[in-house]
A and B are shown apart, each in its own frame.
Chain A
Amino acid sequence: MLTPEESILLITRTIEDTKNRFRENGHIILLWGFLMFVVTLSQYILLRMELYRIHWYPNFLYPLGAVYTFVYFLKEHKKHNLPRTIIGNIIGALGWLLGANFMILGFFFSQKLGEAIAPVFLIFLALFTFVSGIAIRFRPLIIGGIVLNLTGIATFYFDWIYHLLIMSIGSVIALIIPGILLNRESKKEDV
């Protein structure tokens, strides 16, 4: 027969074990961080080389990233029998909605948005990073979101030629650094 203390301990331990099993390991955050870094930096270099006709070609890597993300989550859920959680559903829905809108804006409305496109992207990405950080209680993502939000607003004061360079720096602050830290933490928990 369980004592009340043993019951409380069992409840706490089980809830912690369950949460740790489906906590994001940083893999997808890192993927999108490196993808954004490579795309924006290569676009910046192409612009600097005055290759205006082809400078937007690296954007085609984003749909490939979306396909990989979809397949990855499908496989992970199947492999580990991962349960559905409210937080997971909210982050997932927000991520897909944001990603789809980024692609629509980037591919079809970039001319209409003009110089505002980079700050708008950064501010919306900051929103996603910040909300994800709050949801999984991971401070580097929260800090990354705040810094990225401020960076997004500050971008309005920079000449348009530097916007892509600022975006690549933003990807390091908001995605690559928190992704590495999250990955390291999840490996520590696995030991």
Chain B
Amino acid sequence: MFKDLDPILHSQLRLSIVSILMSVEEASFNFIKETTKATSGNISIQIKKLQNAGYIQVKKSFKNNYPNTTLSMTEKGIEAFETYVNDLKKYIHPGQ
């Protein structure tokens, strides 16, 4: 039905993750988990898909001996998000 919309972004959880990352410079995995209220496993799968598409950057490090994953948008991801939002507007307001 919505064949022109980017299939990577047109999914509830992936779109939530990208929307969070568009509002910040970078965010931790835990922040994403608390904001989306999704399970760690589900988030990990969606992050992998976004990373494989080149939309987000994933940095893994250690903080106080605990693994710390930080996520941020890439230039490609920002462009894809902007295109996606413009495409959505075209669907909602086809005449414009």
| A contact residues vs B (CB 8 Å cutoff) | 1-5, 7-8, 10-11, 14-15, 17-19, 21-22, 80-86, 89
Contact = CB atoms under 8 A, between A and B. Distances in A.
A21 B92 CA distance: 29
Interface string B21-37: 01111111011001110
Contacts of A89: 25
Nearest to A86: B25
B42 interface: no
B53 interface: no
A4 B20 contact: no
B39 to A, nearest CB: 16
B67 to A, nearest CB: 13
Contacts of B24: 18, 22, 83-85
Contact of B25 (A8, A11, A85): A85
Interface residues of B, number: 26
A4 B85 contact: no
Nearest to B20: A18
At the interface, is chain B mostly helix, strand, loop or mixed? helix
Contacts of A18: 19-20, 23-24, 35
At the interface, is chain A mostly helix, strand, loop or mixed? helix
Contact of A81 (B10, B16, B23, B30): B30
B7 to A, nearest CB: 10
Interface of B: 1-2, 5, 10-12, 15-16, 19-20, 22-28, 30-31, 34-36, 85, 88, 91-92
Contacts of A82: 31
Contact of A14 (B2, B20, B28, B85): B20
Nearest to B91: A4
A103 B27 CA distance: 33
Contacts, number: 73
18 contacts: A1-B1, A1-B2, A3-B2, A5-B92, A7-B5, A7-B88, A11-B19, A14-B15, A81-B27, A81-B31, A82-B31, A83-B20, A83-B24, A83-B31, A84-B25, A84-B26, A84-B27, A85-B24
B25 A10 contact: no
B22 A83 contact: no
A7 B10 contact: yes
A11 B82 CA distance: 12
Contacts of A8: 85, 88, 92
Contacts of B12: 2, 10
